[in-house]
Amino acid sequence: MKRIYIPLLSIFLLQSCSSDVLDTYPETIKQTANFYQDQAQLEQGVNSVYGSLQYNGQYQLAMLAIGEIPSDNTYDEVPANDSFTYGEFDFFTIQPNNSLISNTWRDHYIGIQQANIVLNRIGAVPMDQNLKNSRIGEVKFLRALMYFDLVRIFGDVPLVTKETTNVNEYFGQGRTPVETVYTFIESELKESLNLLPATQSQKGRVTKGAALGILAKVLITRNKFSEALPYLQQVETLGYSLLPDVTKIFDVTNKNNAEIIFDVQFASGLNGNTEGSQAYQMFSPSGFVSGAKGHNLPTKQVYNIFTAGDTRRDAYIGLTPNGIPYTKKLSKPTTAPADGGSNIVVLRLAEVYLLMAECYAQTNDFTNANLYLNKIKTRAGISTVNLSGQALLDEIDLERRKELVGEGHRWFDLVRTGKAISVMTTYFQNTPGYNTATIKSYNLLMPVPQDQVNTDPSIKQNPGY
């Protein structure tokens, strides 16, 4: 029988570290029944939850690819590479047996199970209460983030909130409605706010600012703009700042800088090249680096929307000698091509400002909406604006597209604003090579992995697939 992806008796544990950067190097596989006896073991378990974010089906590859390729921001240069896995997202021909879709479901539920184990065991572990509270807040945040990603990708998903020791408990449960999942996510994030510190001694750990920002994104996704705004305003008070030089934001020698609120940690050249990311190799033009696959490259359209003098274009997007755009938000590894050291940014202050601008615009406070939009424009070296109504919302959308290009947000933005079908239909009509491409309403959700449907008949496929 095929196994449903809610892992059972063992987890990938990650060693804790005394340095100032979170170390998520896999140490060993241990039986949970004999583990979590002391603080050191508990810390390994918490780090295992962080480590799951590094999996291909989470922030190493999937969240960047699924968040960009179906949009007008990126495309697949060589669809035949990797058995059309990435090309299917480019043309909306995604199949339920797509390996990236399968990895996304599996790797998120691996992380969720690890989080559930930690939260189930942490109460009995003797340790400082303030530290315990922080770790509970971190794990609740990470579990909420994973569910946020799942629900945006698949819609209804099984809501599993306790440690699973017998997989049969979940056969027949089916998929939990979206609204119920979102209610859980909001509750988890609100609980974490009261537990998380404003700063952490180890870079890469979740802080209160991350919980505030992601909670606001969840609320904005549900069109709760006035409710989201106070959380974003709190982020602004926590000491983050826009870097004056946009070339420094993604500089691999300047990771965890003052603009970064939360990112997934990767390191190049450590532990036998096991801590690096494949993203640079996978998302570079074919022939640009050894083994490059040409997936998820910036489109010429997005390269050309930057106006003259916008410092972000050349900071964020490069051109090969043949004129092929590539992302400069991923740095070339100093060791093996698949050992990238760039962290994957989940949330940074520039996005918070743009979300604030959107919330103010949606609640008709155009003065403040322009104020926060213009913070981003001024930093980019382009002219400020004074707009209102739909023109202002369109300008905020354009700035989100430029500022956050390649970071895994554009597709989700198009879906939540209701623009996905119209924008992508126009894009296909105006872009050579897409004469056969179409987007239908069912494409706003991805297919449930076929192996999950085959494993449990109560897991129904999304309509259209």
Helices and strands per DSSP (H, E), number in the chain: 17, 8
Closest CA to 194 of 269, 261, 134: 134
Tell me: the pLDDT tens digits for 107-157?
Answer: 999 999 999 999 999 998 999 999 999 999 999 999 999 999 999 999 999
Backbone angles phi, psi at 231, to 5 degrees: -70, -40
Flag whether the pTM goes above 0.85: yes
Element (H, E) at 264: strand 260-264
Q: Which two tokens stand for residue 446?
A: 């991805």
Six token digits for residue 372: 């926060």
Query: Is position 220 within any domain?
Result: yes
User: Residues near 138 by Cβ (< 8 Å), separated by ≥ 6?
Assistant: 46, 49, 50, 192, 196, 205, 206
Q: Retrieve residue 360's tokens.
A: 């103010």
326, HSE (Cβ side, Cα atoms, 13 Å): 26
Taking only the tens place, the pLDDT of each residue in 357-384 is 999 999 999 999 999 999 999 999 999 9
In a domain, 77, yes or no: yes
In sequence order, which residues have a C-beta less than 8 Å from that of residue 18 and are 6 or more positions away?
Answer: none
For residue 159, is it within any domain?
yes
Q: What is the CATH number of the domain that holds 76?
A: 1.25.40.390
Does residue 150 form part of some domain?
yes
328, amino acid identity: K
Range of the domain at 382: 10-264+346-432
Q: Is residue 236 a part of any domain in this protein?
A: yes
Domain-located, residue 301: no
User: Residue 181: which H helix or E strand, with range?
Assistant: helix 178-193
CB 132 within 8 A of CB 122: yes
Return per-residue pLDDT of the chain as tens, 465 residues: 333 333 332 333 333 333 566 655 444 344 556 678 889 999 999 999 999 999 999 999 999 999 999 999 999 999 989 999 999 999 999 999 999 999 999 999 999 999 999 999 999 899 999 999 999 999 999 999 999 999 999 999 999 999 887 777 778 889 999 999 999 999 999 999 999 999 999 999 999 999 999 999 999 999 999 999 999 999 999 999 999 999 999 999 999 999 999 999 999 988 777 679 999 999 999 999 999 999 999 999 999 999 999 999 999 999 999 999 999 999 999 899 999 999 999 999 999 999 999 999 999 999 999 999 999 999 999 999 999 999 999 999 999 999 999 999 999 999 999 999 999 999 999 999 999 999 999 999 999 999 999 999 999 999 999
SS (H, E, C) 426-455: HHHHHCCCCCCCCCCHHHHCCCCCHHHHHH
Compute CA distances 188 → 142, 193, 212, whole Å: 10, 9, 12
| Overall domain count for the chain | 1
Q: Are 244 and 379 in contact (CB under 8 A)?
A: yes
Question: What would the two tokens of residue 414 be?
Answer: 């198009």
56 within a domain of the structure (yes/no): yes
Domain assignment of residue 29, yes or no: yes
